[in-house]
Amino acid sequence: MTPRYAPGHRDATYFTTIGDVITLLDVAADHPYPLIRGGGLFLICVGTGFLLCWLLPKYWAQCAIAGGVAGFIASGLSALLPSLGTPSAVQISALVGSFLLEAGLIYLAVTRYKDAGDRKLIMAILFVVGIHFITMGLAHGPLIAILGVLTTINAAIGFHAKAITWKAFGVTDALLKLGFGLVMFLAYPALTYS
């Protein structure tokens, strides 16, 4: 690997590529979504925790809590990585707003489906989490919004497709989070909505 200047990335000193994707060694500034790596780390931890929930159902609560706590800690520690720029007020507001929206919608989902059985309750919660990822697109960029669309579709199908075990939709949700998180953290592509 030969260190090279990253074209189009101000202040970049070293990078390596996988195809045309600039990876972690890029120390570029002014990414359109500077929070993308923190969001990616959060998704990696949560995706791993939720995947373990499905693989080790006896320990689902511990896995879910560990994944969430690790995600928040890792996301916060991502501030120690080389800066991609300063997030805007809109990006910070979208991040906070998406969590408030998620909390309110999860409350409504749990209230509505608490007695409807595990399948409907879990799929309703996964649907709500997907909606909150769509709104997070303003903070983390188009990749998390695409993840939101895919996870809401997955949850909606899981809610209704009784011929397929609902656990398959839970595993799919966890793998989507893990996969998108890896791309956001390791490659952090500068995709925009325009």
Query: Nearest Cα to 110, choosing from 96, 97, 100, 125?
Result: 125
Rounded distance, CA 144 to CA 137, Å? Answer: 6
194 belongs to a structural domain: no
23 belongs to a structural domain: no
> How would residue 160 be classed by pLDDT, with cut points 50, 70 and 90?
very high
* pLDDT > 90? residue 6: no
Bridge partners (DSSP) of residue 22 are 17
Look at residue 83 in the predicted model and tell me its pLDDT: 85
17 belongs to a structural domain: no
* pLDDT > 50? residue 23: no
Does the predicted model carry a pTM greater than 0.85?
no
Q: What is the mean pLDDT of residues 171-180?
A: 97
Region of residue 138 (phi > 0: left; psi between -120 and 50: alpha; otherwise: beta): alpha
| Average pLDDT, rounded, for the chain | 87
Tell me how crowded residue 117 is: count the other CB atoms within 10 A of its CB.
11
Region of residue 3 (phi > 0: left; psi between -120 and 50: alpha; otherwise: beta): beta
Domain of residue 175: give its range.
31-187
> How would residue 82 be classed by pLDDT, with cut points 50, 70 and 90?
confident
Compute the residue count for the chain: 194
Judge whether 132 and 139 are in contact, CB under 8 Å: no
Q: H/E/C letters for each residue in the chain?
A: CCCCCCCCCCCCCCCCEECCEECCCCCCCCCCCCCHHHHHHHHHHHHHHHHHHHHCHHHHHHHHHHHHHHHHHHHHHHHHCCCCCCCCHHHHHHHHHHHHHHHHHHHHHHHHHCCCCHHHHHHHHHHHHHHHHHHHHHHHCHHHHHHHHHHHHHHHHHHHCCCCCHHHHHHHHHHHHHHHHHHHHHHCCCCCCC
Rounded distance, CA 125 to CA 109, Å? Answer: 6
Judge whether 49 and 66 are in contact, CB under 8 Å: yes
Domains of the chain: total = 1
Q: pLDDT per residue over 128-151, tens digit each?
A: 999 999 999 999 999 999 999 999
Look at residue 167 in the predicted model and tell me its pLDDT: 93
164 belongs to a structural domain: yes
* pLDDT > 80? residue 94: yes
